[in-house]
Amino acid sequence: MSTVIKLRDPTAETSPVRRARLAPPSSLDGKTVALMDIGKSRGKEFIDRLEDHFKKAGVATKRYAKPTNTKVAPLELMQTIAAEAQLAVIALSD
Amino acid sequence: MPDSLLPNDGLVIVAKRDCPTCVLVEPVMQSLDRAGPLAVLSQDDPTFPSGVRSVIDDQALERSFRLNVETVPTLIRFKGGKEVERTVGWDRKEWTRLVGAAVGEDLPAWQPGCGSKSVEPGVHEALIARYGDPGLKSREISVGNWDDPMEACFERGWSDGLPVVPPTDERILRMLGGTDRKPDEVVGLIPPNLAPCTVEKVAINSVLAGCKPEYMPVVLGVLEAALDPLFVLHGLLCTTHFSGPLVIINGPAAKAIGMNSGVNALGQGNRANATIGRALQLIVRNVGGGLPGAIDRATLGNPGKYTFCFAEDESDPDWEPLSVRRGIAPGKSAVTLFHGEGVNGFIDQKSRTPEELVRSLALGLFGVGHPKLCLAGNAVLVLTPEHYKIFRDAGWNRRRIEDALYQALKRPGRDLVRGAQGVPEGLPPSMADQMVDKFQPDGLLVVRAGGEAGLFSAIIGGWPGQSVRDECQAVTKEIRP
């Protein structure tokens, strides 16, 4: 059985087939970085360290956490992060 | 590559239970099975024909497709792994000759076959997509089997905000079946990126829009009209103004594809009206790269930028259709493209004579753009049956209505210059002593549409870009079959 569905490109094909990732911002000035703990063990320690680094660099951060590492983040959490931050670090540990 | 299930030297019969002729020759197939190497490809029921050992289930139709079978039953003789002869339907003489022995002597001498399932409408294209070479040049985009293709279309930016139909090969091939034009023919360069647009790209975007294959000639005609330099599609696309392409279809094509010119003609609910206008917008978006917020700088836009397309009501033989008025021969299908800003409802339930109604309509038409602006954009007037009846009952035809409106749309410049009536907007002071037309002489397009009830008409304002008549106008073109 085929593992993909094939569509044909309706565009002028001037962009790559694989969608490009968003370019990183040239500066973090004035931006807020979301730090999301995905709920794995020692994740908090890892994010604490990251937060320290951002603070030293003068970058604003906000903390978020998934209720459990076994499921995808709730939509409301994703929407809150998108509304309150311009960048996100989704961190794991173990 | 030889098919290992088919006899290298022997007979192949393609049949289906649903075919009375195949059922008729079932005893012949049984006798041939006893006589020598035979394979029967059964298209719809692997238990048919009964009493035959080598029935091959071909419900997937792959073998029927590869053998290029158009009729069942088809009898094929193979020699050395290659087809050497075939006959279709039941013709005792032909079967006897091809088999090399007397067969079916108790059957009628001749009976035509039925269509092969592999060439049923829609099936053939699906089989080409699955087993053949679709011959499409556009690049393939792979979507994971667990992903929703409709969501993938959104994620890739191919949608206007509403769901689109995922453009699979079989859908594209079906769409291309709606035109005789070759898939690689370039229809034109689509602004703003001036990207070449082939018939194949038109078909793909028509699939996205939800068109039926029979709409293709109309979609192609619409695109050709939009690409006429006089239509200034690039300018219309990047304007801050409300306007977008308004498509009006005339002639037999509109009837053939079931377009709506009656109740709710400017509204929702008719597939052809909805998807033809949408196909044009998707071509501009996807092929041309015209994206809202990028080159499309509309301050507000209008809902018609999803789609804005209807057919003219040509039910009155005394009415000169818009396309004929604009130079197309009577009886021909045509598309008129206008720069439309949206529908402005006009109510008049009191006028009873043509003269009253013309004066009243003029009041409404003065409001296009701004009541004090003139020659700053044109308009379409959609006359509904009840308003049109007032003119018709008085013996007025299209030309007389247009002439009367043109005269009624003249006003003294002194009432319209900047500052007049306490309103800064208006005409330059130099026009104060002139009688000023609201629209250019051919700038008001009168068209008939709408339901039987309602003493209303619709005014569709144009675009300020139309103010330079030599550079920008509505465009009418014949639709090629």
ipTM, 2 dp: 0.89
- CB–CB of B167 and A7 under 8 A? yes
- Residue A12: closest C-alpha in chain B: B287
Same topology, domains B10-117 and B342-461? Answer is no
B395–A contact, CB cutoff 8 A: no
Nearest to B271 by CA among B213, B355, B200: B213
- CB–CB of B136 and A5 under 8 A? no
- Residue B189: closest C-alpha in chain A: A12
Helices (H) and strands (E) in chain A, counts: 2, 4
Q: Tell me the CA end-to-end span of chain B in Å, nearest whole number.
A: 40
- CB–CB of A12 and B287 under 8 A? yes
- CB–CB of B143 and A10 under 8 A? no
- β-strands B444-448, B379-383 pairing: parallel
Q: In angstroms, what separates the C-alpha of B290 from chain A's closest C-alpha?
A: 11
Is residue A64 within 8 Å of A81, Cβ to Cβ? yes
Report yes or no on A50 lying in a domain: yes
- CB–CB of A7 and B140 under 8 A? yes
Report yes or no on A85 lying in a domain: yes
d(CA B475, CA B324): 13
Cβ-nearest to A17 among B141, B145, B158:
B141
DSSP assigned state of B44: S
B205–A contact, CB cutoff 8 A: yes
Cβ-nearest to B145 among A3, A8, A19:
A3
B323–A contact, CB cutoff 8 A: no
Using a CB-CB cut-off of 8 Å, the residues of chain A touching B190 are 12
Cβ-nearest to B140 among A8, A11, A19:
A8
d(CA A54, CA A60): 7
Token readout for B465 is 């870009």
Listed in sequence order, the residues at least 6 apart from A42 whose beta carbon sits closer than 8 Å to its beta carbon are A93, A94
In which residue are the tokens 């339930």 written?
B349
Please report the pLDDT score of residue A40 as a whole number.
86
Please report the pLDDT score of residue B2 as a whole number.
64
Multiple choice CATH, B342-461, 3.30.1300, 3.30.2320, 3.40.1350, 3.30.200: 3.30.2320
Please report the pLDDT score of residue A1 as a whole number.
46
Pick the more confident residue, B230 or A24.
Answer: B230
Token readout for B38 is 């035979």
Please report the pLDDT score of residue B1 as a whole number.
57
d(CA A55, CA B231): 57
Beta bridge partners of B40: B13, B55
pLDDT band at A21 (very low <50, low <70, confident <90, very high): confident
pLDDT band at A72 (very low <50, low <70, confident <90, very high): confident
pLDDT band at A3 (very low <50, low <70, confident <90, very high): low
Q: Which of A1, A3, A5 to mutate to test the interface with B (most CBs of B within 10 A)?
A: A5
pTM comes to 0.89
Q: Which of B141, B143, B285, B286 to mutate to test the interface with A (most CBs of A within 10 A)?
A: B141
Cβ-nearest to A10 among B152, B167, B196:
B167
Is residue B337 within 8 Å of B245, Cβ to Cβ? yes
- What SS3 state is found at A40? coil
Listed in sequence order, the residues at least 6 apart from B101 whose beta carbon sits closer than 8 Å to its beta carbon are B35
Write out residues in chain B with pLDDT < 50, as ranges. none
Please check the confidence at residue A19 and state whether its pLDDT lies above 80.
no
Radius of gyration of chain B from its Cα atoms, rounded to whole angstroms: 30
**pLDDT of B155-187, one tens digit each?**
999 999 999 999 999 999 999 999 999 999 999
Report yes or no on A64 lying in a domain: yes
d(CA B473, CA B481): 25
- Secondary structure (DSSP) of B115-160: E-GGGSTTHHHHHHHHHS-----SPEEEEETTS-HHHHHHHTT--S
d(CA B219, CA B175): 11
Report yes or no on A41 lying in a domain: yes
A56–B contact, CB cutoff 8 A: no
- If one counts the domains in chain A, the total is 1
Report yes or no on A14 lying in a domain: no
Please report the pLDDT score of residue B211 as a whole number.
98
Report yes or no on A67 lying in a domain: yes
A19–B contact, CB cutoff 8 A: yes
**Ranges A16-20, A54-58, B157-161, B263-267: which has the least confidence:** A16-20
Beta bridge partners of A91: A37
Please check the confidence at residue A20 and state whether its pLDDT lies above 60.
yes
- β-strands B90-91, B38-42 pairing: unpaired
Nearest to B270 by CA among B285, B286, B252, B254: B254
DSSP assigned state of B414: G
Is residue B261 within 8 Å of B449, Cβ to Cβ? yes
Q: Which helix (H) or strand (E) holds A59?
A: none
Q: Give Cα separations from B137 to A19, B95, B169, B212, B223 (angstroms).
A: 20, 42, 11, 21, 20
Q: In angstroms, what separates the C-alpha of B171 from chain A's closest C-alpha?
A: 10
Q: Which of B142, B158, B186 to mutate to test the interface with A (most CBs of A within 10 A)?
A: B142
- State phi, psi for B64 to the nearest 5 degrees: -60, -40
Q: Does B73 sit behind a cis peptide bond, omega within 30 degrees of 0 on the bond before it?
A: yes
Angle value at C-alpha B175, between B173 and B177, nearest 5 degrees: 70
A2–B contact, CB cutoff 8 A: yes
Nearest to B347 by CA among B460, B461, B459: B459
Using a CB-CB cut-off of 8 Å, the residues of chain B touching A21 are none
Please check the confidence at residue A68 and state whether its pLDDT lies above 90.
no
Residue spans of the domains in chain B: they are 10-117, 121-331, 342-461
| CATH 3.40.30.10 for domain B10-117 | yes
Of chain B residues 102-141, which have a CB less than 8 A from chain A?
136, 138-141
- β-strands B71-72, B343-347 pairing: unpaired
Is residue B480 within 8 Å of B414, Cβ to Cβ? no
In which residue are the tokens 């907007």 written?
B425
Please report the pLDDT score of residue B128 as a whole number.
95
Q: Between the CA atoms of B388, B393, B399 and B402, what dihedral angle is there, to the nearest 10 degrees? A: -50
Which residues constitute the domain of residue A64? 32-91
Is residue B382 within 8 Å of B312, Cβ to Cβ? no
d(CA B186, CA B196): 6
